[in-house]
Structure 1
Amino acid sequence: MTASEISIELARLATEAALERGAIDPVAIDVSERVFLTDIFLVLSADSDRGVRAVADAVDEAMLKAGHKRLRREGHDQARWILQDYDHLVIHVFLQEDREFYDLERLWADGPRVDLQLPEAANQD
């Protein structure tokens, strides 16, 4: 079993909204074979705590507008690492320096990357 088309579509929607608010370096990781609670981890970052909040809020707005309500959120007050749970998609929005420190991409290196089929310009941040 791999990430479902629905999960990939949610990740694409979230990524597009995040990039519009200045998110940096989106990486989607298929964790469906290792985590039973979700299909995809979407890792994003921003260069300030204000930017982290703006990215997370933009994702919430876009997802709600598309009919997907967030199940839970952690870290919004501190805005160094905000975790947003949308069931089949879990989004990690980091302050850039914290992303480098926690390095989730390395921790989940055995999970295949999900091609979100974004325009090339979106992948060159």
Structure 2
Amino acid sequence: MTATADAVELATRAAQAAASKLATDVVVIDVSEQLVITDCFVIASAANERQVNAIVDEVEEKLREAGHKPVRREGGREGRWTLLDYVDVVVHVQHEDERNYYALERLWRDCPTIPVDLEPHGEDGA
């Protein structure tokens, strides 16, 4: 089983929103073979707490505009690691220190990454 087209589209929107707020090392991982609870992880990082919060706000706003609300939000406003759970897609926005320490990509290295165009398209994009 691979990630559904809807999950890939949602993950792509989230990745583009994160990139628009200058998130670094944005990656989408297809975890559908390993997890039954979700299809994709979006992982993005930022250099400071303020930027982590700005990225999270942008992801939530862009996905809300597309008709999606997170069913769960973890991490509060500390700005170190925030998780947004959209059921089929889980978005992790991490401070660079947390990203390096927890190394989620290494944990999920057996899962394929999904190539995404980080430039937004449509009415807001190019």
Normalising by structure 2, report the TM-score. Answer: 0.91
The answer (yes or no) to whether the contact 2:15–2:27 under 8 Å persists in 1 is: no
Task: Specify every segment of 5 or more residues in structure 1 that has no aligned partner in the other structure, as ranges.
Answer: 120-125
Letter in 2 for 1:43: I
Q: State the 1:76 CA deviation.
A: 2.3
Give the distance between the partners of 2:82 and 2:118, measured in 1 at CA: 23
Identity %: 45
Q: State the 1:32 CA deviation.
A: 0.3
Once the two structures are superposed, the pairs formed by residues 74-85 of structure 1 within 5 Å of their partners are 74-85=74-85
Once the two structures are superposed, the pairs formed by residues 35-50 of structure 1 within 5 Å of their partners are 35-50=35-50
Cα deviation digits, residues 49-107 of structure 1 (max 9, x gap):
00000000100000000001111100022110100001100000000111000000000
Residue 14 (structure 1) aligns with: 14
Residue 29 (structure 2) aligns with: 29
Q: CA RMSD in A?
A: 0.9
Task: Specify every segment of 5 or more residues in structure 2 that has no aligned partner in the other structure, as ranges.
Answer: 120-126
Once the two structures are superposed, the pairs formed by residues 101-116 of structure 1 within 5 Å of their partners are 101-116=101-116
Which of structure 1's runs of 4+ aligned residues deviate more than 2 A? none
Residue 122 (structure 1) aligns with: none
The answer (yes or no) to whether the contact 1:48–1:95 under 8 Å persists in 2 is: yes
Aligned positions, number: 119
Give the distance between the partners of 1:45 and 1:5, measured in 2 at CA: 25
